[in-house]
Amino acid sequence: MTNWPAMADKYLMNFVERLPLTLVKGQGARAWDENGREFLDFVGGWAVNSLGHCHPAVAQAVTEQVNTLIQASNQFYTIPQIRLAELLVQHSCFDKVFLANSGAEANEGAVKLARRYGKLHLKGAYEVITTTSSFHGRTLAMVAATAQPKFQQPYIPLPAGFVNVEYNNFGVIKAATTSHTCAVMLEPIQGEGGVNLPDPDYLAAVRAWCDETGILLIFDEIQTGLGRIGTLFAYEQYGVEPDIITLAKGLASGIPIGAILAKDSVSVFTPGEHGSTFGGNPVACAAGLATLQFIIEHDIAGNAQIVGQYLISSLEGLKPKFPFITEVRGCGLLVAMEFSQDIAQAVVMACLERGLLINRVKPNALRFMPPLIITKAEVDEALGILAEALASV
């Protein structure tokens, strides 16, 4: 039988620590390896498979589109792109949409949009304030935005125009604002940084400051958006309307996509100032449309809220038995469990052996990001495996 990990080592660049598992198939919250072994999937393609693996509504929309029109370029109007933008606008506080191919690319576009706005309305201001333990993507500019040394150090010097300040501290944003500042960019809840929730008044304070100074507020909702945290968008839960948000991960159930949503007053691109060959591609947009329609029509965000609360309380229930669990935190189906020691990798491996896929978000923390269609019974099943794994480490 083919040794896929060995072949991968031979042919692929060594950019990520992979687990010793080759997945060949997925359905709903389950995935299978090449030997037919079944796993319960609480990684979900890194918070991407919002409707689970190969959801029939998405598979059908993609199949139809692939047999109809795969690519046409943005020089022409294509219908899935227009319909997806319409649905995003109808269900958000925004007016205009730009479609890209990934999260990092959406964020790059959002920063470019903020810089255009700065040139036109803020006397040439260009600097973007971002926060520690954030994650905004892997392009060079987004590495400069991502205020984590492990991502920045290997690539210094970084592109200019980003100021990194402490997350969840309004005072430092105020102090960092100068006449060069055009925007503040934040994840309302930090995902890759370890599922970090803001204090209740932090985002509102930043919004008020942006209103006072005229600078833009950008929410990176690539991980929190599209129902993951129990509402369609995170900004709804905090009662704060940003000027721009970015989406990607869960938007098209696994087909690469990214999106910038902005208020009319901020949508200042003119023809030629930004663009993409694949962005808004009919197949990706058909997948996005099918996903978003399903999320809205079946109140998938509501399920994420209910089952997410159940997941959090079930995880809390493990604390007495495993005193090395120091904290369970999260919102909807974006949840972390932190330990007093760096045992997350050992727990991930012990879960893998027992049929549960789970993510280590920090050396001492796990992250749970199952599909948003997950049931309480599947949570019970996962927690049974997790308890065995915790007992084994």
Ligand X SMILES: *Cc1c(COP(=O)(O)O)cnc(C)c1O
- Which residue number, 85 or 252, has a Cβ lying nearer to ligand X? 252
Inter-CA distances, 189 with 92, 228, 235, 288, 337, Å: 18, 11, 10, 23, 15
- Rounded CA-CA distance 31/4 in Å is 17
Contact 132, 167 (CB under 8 A): yes
Smallest separation (angstroms) from ligand X to the CB of 300: 19
Among 26, 28, 45, 103, binds ligand X (CB under 6 A): 103
Using CB under 6 A as the binding rule, whether residue 162 contacts ligand X is answered as: no
Compose the 208-237 pattern: x for residues touching ligand X by CB under 6 A, - for all others: ------------x-xx--------------
Residue 199 is a catalytic residue:
no
Among candidate residues 282, 324, 361, the one with its CA nearest the CA of residue 78: 282
Please identify, among the stretches 155-163, 184-192, 277-285, 317-325, the one whose residues bind ligand X according to the rule CB under 6 A. Answer: 184-192
Which of 238, 246, 214, 36 minimizes the C-alpha distance to 137? Answer: 246
Measured from the CB atom, the residue of 129 and 222 that comes closer to ligand X is: 222
The answer to the question of residue 330 lying near ligand X (CB under 6 A) is: no
> Residue 9 catalytic?
no
Asked whether the beta carbons of 217 and 183 are under 8 A apart, the reply is yes
Q: Can you tell me which of 28, 137, 227, 254 binds ligand X, judged by CB under 6 A?
A: 137
Of the candidate spans 68-76, 119-127, 130-138, 302-310, the one that interacts with ligand X by CB under 6 A turns out to be: 130-138
Element of type H or E holding 336: strand 334-339
Give, as one character, the DSSP assignment of residue 249.
G
The Cα–Cα gap between 187 and 55 comes to 28
Q: Determine contact, residues 8/21, Cβ cutoff 8 Å.
A: no
Name 376's Cβ contacts closer than 8 Å, sequence gap at least 6: 307, 310
| Residue with tokens 């330990």, as numbered in its chain | 339
Piece in contact with ligand X (CB under 6 A), picked from 97-105, 112-120, 309-317, 365-373: 97-105
Least CB distance from residue 221 to ligand X, whole Å? 7
Q: Which CB atom, from 177 or from 223, has the smaller least distance to ligand X?
A: 223
State which residue, 137 or 227, has the beta carbon closest to ligand X: 137
Using Cβ positions, the residue closest to ligand X within the complex turns out to be: 103
Q: What are phi and psi of 155, to 5 degrees?
A: -120, 5
Q: Which of 39, 117, 126, 135 binds ligand X (CB under 6 A)?
A: 135
Q: Which of 170, 219, 243, 249 is catalytic?
A: 249
Q: How far is the CB of 27 from ligand X (least distance, A)?
A: 24
Assess 243 for contact with ligand X (CB under 6 A).
no
Q: Is position 191 an interface residue for ligand X (rule: CB under 6 A)?
A: yes
- Cβ 68 to ligand X shortest distance, Å: 26
Residue entry with tokens 């080759």: 22
Number of amino acids touching ligand X (CB under 6 A): 15
How far apart (Å, rounded) are the C-alpha atoms in residues 201 and 206? 9
Nearer to ligand X, 125 or 334 (CB): 334
Among 65, 102, 164, 364, binds ligand X (CB under 6 A): 102
Question: Does residue 249 have an active-site annotation?
Answer: yes
104 near ligand X, rule: CB under 6 A: yes
Strands 162-165 and 96-100: unpaired
| Cβ atoms within 10 Å, residue 175 | 10
**What's the distance, Cα to Cα, between the start and end of the chain in Å?**
32
Catalytic residue among 42, 135, 151, 339: 135
Residues labelled catalytic: 135, 220, 249
User: Where on the chain is the footprint of ligand X (CB under 6 A)?
Assistant: 102-104, 107, 135-137, 187, 191-192, 220, 222-223, 248-249
